[in-house]
Structure 1
């Protein structure tokens, strides 16, 4: 594929050459993107977490929200990144990826809209057989067929598009759009792409006719209803779907069927925004605006978050009721917290102020230190304060904050550890391409992905946990730990939490397997190095990271997968201390113990900030 084209990259359309306007475009697209993500995530969360919405219509609506979220995530982030970086470039593989995923989500979206029309037809025109026809198996098959159709269409369309040769690398659009790629093609294979495009239009037109006929039947049935309330309810579920379908169809038709040879760049851009950005942003608004069932569960969720539990606060398990032991606990916790604080702050400070350490490995290490400091700051200070004030209470909102931030820092920590393994893999197994692969932009994107992954999982996990009804307010732990909260739950909704836990565990296992595979390749490469000094250098950078991963995974797995005891024990407290306090204290020591670069940079920093009288001895003599 790469040999058939004369270009390795494409140049996307800029919104403006003026830097101020580029920044404005970035913030406008950021607002669009955040609104789209928020709206669609709310739809997905409402349908997933509320049992009243576990019906075929809302199941398909949830799938539609996923396709909307996916389609807007394919195009907007790259455009925002280009505006910030003041560039127009997208790689050949990046362009292929954009076309493929955009077509996948767009085709799946269209198919789902057709399926939703059929669902409304059966519900209104044949209500007595609705549950038999639209059963769980049939719904899953229909949704699966929609995604498979999108997958097949994306593969065929992307393959035929990039089988062409291109006379230019200038794409007259802010993302890789198929009509614009056909426009710069100089291959006769564009005929194949046009034939596939016409076939797609024919299939889409057939679906359109099916939907129109369906809605004619639906409206004729609705208008025959004697009850005005019944008509209003039927219209409230059908009109949003018809509006969304019309918006999607006419937006796409304007772009793919209009002549583009003489269209101006700004016209192309406006049409692209209308059909690729506006529908995913407006669909959640349209579906929820006239839909009482969506609005009521959202209101219900907000109210039940604070009212469904019979407790306004929780009682944390103290270490001891004896005054002397409480003082001992305070001293131990204060010492561990100060050590973790000083160590991680030193790591961050040394990396920031030492230009020799401005490399990907130490950039990720600084992020890791910040996460370690954050995770220990979530739990230890509250426990110290409770011991000082001789209390065991934590407010309901305080417990939510503890769970949210602890999960956030730990998930981000785990993802960063995986990124660091990949960094070491590239550095050792592919050193000639290291600077190209691990460039500044790639490192920032990887670190940001780790933090965003932590936010996403923390939101999902915390939301699922605090939908419970709690039969007790006594937590057998010195902080709000999720296994202990599950233990005092008396709600059937714990199944949602179990599914979130299974999802997290599956992701963690796959991610951990990739880390292990990376280290197998790394150690094989190291053992082939002829120089013992070279082996020692590489082991000194890899072994600390491997030890940190093992410490984190083993301790976390032991806590979350062991059976919880029915009564508090000293063992439970020690295990929790081990996984939430020991890693933040030990990680800086493990990374600095065998790392000469970090130690040299530390002593240089100490020398630079020390009084002049202490600088008389040459720095090099200290080593």
Structure 2
């Protein structure tokens, strides 16, 4: 139910339906399907193949689940708006959308930090890897990442939606935090401070963990005398480092600058990249650059073909 004094619906800037919007609908629908299918396939392969029951792939399966949830919080509504003349969303749905997207985004940052620690242990302490990264620690880290993401989301959503909103037209494709703040008819200086604090805790702290881990990883790799050994050690981290660069780069560009430093159009482009492109690229990066995942896919496919033949 809408809060007292708030609009019952929140609208997005209307645009006429034309061949451009239809083309965009088809494009983003294809990307959405690739995102969901790709991440679901990663989860399925890790679940079915016992050779992938390792901490690194456990975190990867959690990351894929988070990407599916994040994409589903914004993209389906965006696809509906592509083919709608009147682009609106109920106020309570807007609150829920912002809450879930913030929670999933925060969870992903903390999860990438945990994955960086996993790679640090694997490269710098290979003999003690299975002892340090035991099942209890991995599960605890995953649960902690989820709790941290949802805690930040609750705090931000409560603070934002207590503000009186003078307008109900959002210049964005989703109920995004900075876009909703622009609807307030009161001073939002406190909210700007909270965005900065939240950005530091949710983005910069995991980023510092990643930088700390990879500084030690690079130092350890450089100490390896064999060129083949260095190449193999770097190969175990290359996929994760690529995903980290995409996620943290776009988030820092959006949220770690003053609220008025970027235009709404820039924020929409970055948010679109983070909501649609990055979750789609994650399974491609991890599968195409990972021999274990590709081998697991071939084994599962062969079993499926054999089962079909027997039937």
Q: Secondary structure at the match of 1:306?
A: coil
For the 8 Å contact 1:361–1:420, the answer to whether it is kept is yes
Residues in 1 aligned to 2:17 and 2:136: alpha-carbon distance in whole angstroms: 55
Aligned to 2:162: 467
Write the deviation string for residues 293-348 of structure 1: whole angstroms up to 9, x where unpaired: xxxxxxxxxx9x70133x22111235x41421221121011111001011101100
4+ runs deviating over 4 angstroms: 562-569, 611-615
1:526 aligns with 2:217: no
Where does the alignment leave 5 or more consecutive residues of structure 1 unmatched?
1-302, 616-623
Aligned to 1:487: 182
Do the aligned partners of residues 358 and 567 (structure 1) sit closer, same or farther apart at CA in structure 2, a change above 3 Å counting? closer
Do the aligned partners of residues 578 and 369 (structure 1) sit closer, same or farther apart at CA in structure 2, a change above 3 Å counting? same
1:538 aligns with 2:233: yes
Aligned to 1:503: 197
From 138, 145, 151, the equivalent of 1:456 is: 151
For the 8 Å contact 1:399–1:480, the answer to whether it is kept is yes
Residues in 2 aligned to 1:572 and 1:457: alpha-carbon distance in whole angstroms: 21
For the 8 Å contact 2:10–2:91, the answer to whether it is kept is yes
Please list, as runs of the form range in 1=range in 2, the aligned pairs for 1:85-234 lying within 5 A after superposition: none
Do the aligned partners of residues 613 and 441 (structure 1) sit closer, same or farther apart at CA in structure 2, a change above 3 Å counting? closer
Q: What RMSD, in angstroms, separates the aligned Cα atoms of the two structures?
A: 2.1
1:548 aligns with 2:248: no
Deviation at 1:562, TM superposition (A): 6.0
Compute the TM-score of the two structures, normalised by the length of structure 2: 0.93
Aligned to 1:315: 11
Structure having the higher Rg: 1
Aligned to 2:19: 324
Aligned to 2:95: 400
Residues in 2 aligned to 1:313 and 1:591: alpha-carbon distance in whole angstroms: 40
Aligned to 1:417: 112
For the 8 Å contact 1:403–1:481, the answer to whether it is kept is yes
For the 8 Å contact 1:464–1:496, the answer to whether it is kept is no
Q: Secondary structure at the match of 2:89?
A: strand
Residues in 1 aligned to 2:211 and 2:82: alpha-carbon distance in whole angstroms: 41
Aligned to 2:71: 376
Deviation at 1:563, TM superposition (A): 5.0
Do the aligned partners of residues 565 and 314 (structure 1) sit closer, same or farther apart at CA in structure 2, a change above 3 Å counting? farther
Residues in 1 aligned to 2:149 and 2:50: alpha-carbon distance in whole angstroms: 29
Do the aligned partners of residues 471 and 565 (structure 1) sit closer, same or farther apart at CA in structure 2, a change above 3 Å counting? farther
Write the deviation string for residues 341-397 of structure 1: whole angstroms up to 9, x where unpaired: 111011000000000000000000000001111111111100111223332101110
From 128, 131, 155, the equivalent of 1:433 is: 128
- The structure whose RCO (Cα within 8 Å, separation 6+) is larger is 2
Residues in 1 aligned to 2:44 and 2:184: alpha-carbon distance in whole angstroms: 43
Deviation at 1:543, TM superposition (A): 1.3
For the 8 Å contact 2:17–2:85, the answer to whether it is kept is no
Compute the TM-score of the two structures, normalised by the length of structure 1: 0.47
Residues in 2 aligned to 1:321 and 1:572: alpha-carbon distance in whole angstroms: 22
For the 8 Å contact 1:308–1:468, the answer to whether it is kept is no
Do the aligned partners of residues 565 and 388 (structure 1) sit closer, same or farther apart at CA in structure 2, a change above 3 Å counting? farther
Residues in 2 aligned to 1:516 and 1:612: alpha-carbon distance in whole angstroms: 46
Residues in 2 aligned to 1:395 and 1:433: alpha-carbon distance in whole angstroms: 52
For the 8 Å contact 1:344–1:588, the answer to whether it is kept is yes
For the 8 Å contact 1:412–1:454, the answer to whether it is kept is yes
Residues in 2 aligned to 1:522 and 1:458: alpha-carbon distance in whole angstroms: 32
Aligned to 2:3: 306
Aligned to 1:355: 50
Do the aligned partners of residues 613 and 485 (structure 1) sit closer, same or farther apart at CA in structure 2, a change above 3 Å counting? closer
Q: Secondary structure at the match of 1:307?
A: coil
Aligned to 1:196: none
| Count of aligned positions | 308
For the 8 Å contact 1:317–1:475, the answer to whether it is kept is yes
